[in-house]
Amino acid sequence: MTGAAIEAWGLGMRYRGRGGGWALRDCSFRLPAGRVCALVGPNGAGKSTLLSLAAGFLRPAEGTVRVLGSTPGDARARMAFVAQDKPLYPQLTVAETLWAGAELNPATWDQDTAERITEPLPRDARVRTLSGGQRTRLALALALGKQPELLLLDEPMADLDPLGRHQLMGALMAEAAERSTTIVMSSHILAELEGACDYLLLVDGGRIRLGGETDDLLTAHTLLTGPVRDLAPHTVVESRTTGRLLTALVRKEGPVDTADWETAEPSLEELLLAHLRSPDAPALLTPSADARTREAVSAA
């Protein structure tokens, strides 16, 4: 797949009643189609805002976002969004909710997938009587039953039990593999994302700090341990000195001197934590995550 699932240029959003502060500011990035992307960042970073803008639930205060080559509004039939509050009709039963999903998406609806995901739920139970985790399961069944090209998930696993998480993560990965669905999934549970996601967007303070293939972002960085010394020409993300020993996470700008330094590739957690502790470290987008100019997109 070569197209972009999401492209954003200078995207910004501020809510009324926040004293004019920006929830998201100056975000430019590209998410290639067919990727499973982890959207990570601390509380209040702007992850839900970014997903809501891509889903067309919010209108940007500045900049532009394109989804599957269209405006979010025009792409709505081809994407599904499971928001944190999982809006469902409380008076409908599980079976009626799936029936509504089929009615609303007649061209694409896959009843088997939706029923497989809701299998543990009593079909006659009304939505208002379901637990938080059961509602999540139903919301995911609606989203996957639609067979979207792009699936936006805002902390989808937060209220599921471990077995449910494992099962639904498996269903999501199967969907991604079989149908090349692009998935964007926000989560605070790195262990959950680490094995599942091949793409990463780190949002912090309303800005994109890291974007690209997880493997490329990891190999672009090195953990160095050795004598205290100037780390030039490498870009230092974070460094700590204990006595005469320096430990640093650097972005490699050329070969690393391994005579003096012990080197190791960071784990995903080490990479993310180092960036979150160092808000001034420059952002890094791999070439595939770098939004082309809007003119180049229009000409393509």
Ligand X SMILES: Nc1ncnc2c1ncn2[C@@H]1O[C@H](COP(=O)(O)OP(=O)(O)OP(=O)(O)O)[C@@H](O)[C@H]1O
**Interface ranges with ligand X (CB under 6 A):** 15, 17-18, 23, 41, 43-49
- If the CB atoms of residues 86 and 234 are measured against ligand X, the closer one turns out to be 86
CB of 170 to ligand X, least distance (A): 24
CB of 16 to ligand X, least distance (A): 7
Structural contact between residues 122 and 162, judged by C-beta atoms closer than 8 angstroms: no
* Cα Rg of the chain (Å, integer): 21
CB of 231 to ligand X, least distance (A): 31
Structural contact between residues 51 and 186, judged by C-beta atoms closer than 8 angstroms: yes
CB of 18 to ligand X, least distance (A): 5
CB of 299 to ligand X, least distance (A): 33
CB of 58 to ligand X, least distance (A): 9
- If the CB atoms of residues 176 and 202 are measured against ligand X, the closer one turns out to be 202
- If the CB atoms of residues 48 and 286 are measured against ligand X, the closer one turns out to be 48
How many CB atoms are closer than 10 A to CB 191? Answer: 10
- If the CB atoms of residues 32 and 46 are measured against ligand X, the closer one turns out to be 46
Give, in order, the Cα–Cα distances in Å from 184 to each of 79, 151, 154, 195: 11, 6, 8, 14
Which residues make Cβ contacts (< 8 Å) with residue 96, sequence separation at least 6?
Answer: none
- If the CB atoms of residues 37 and 45 are measured against ligand X, the closer one turns out to be 45
Nearest-CA neighbor of 172 among 194, 147, 189?
Answer: 147
- If the CB atoms of residues 53 and 117 are measured against ligand X, the closer one turns out to be 53
Across-strand partners of 31? 6
Give, in order, the Cα–Cα distances in Å from 160 to each of 3, 5, 6, 234, 285: 33, 27, 28, 42, 32
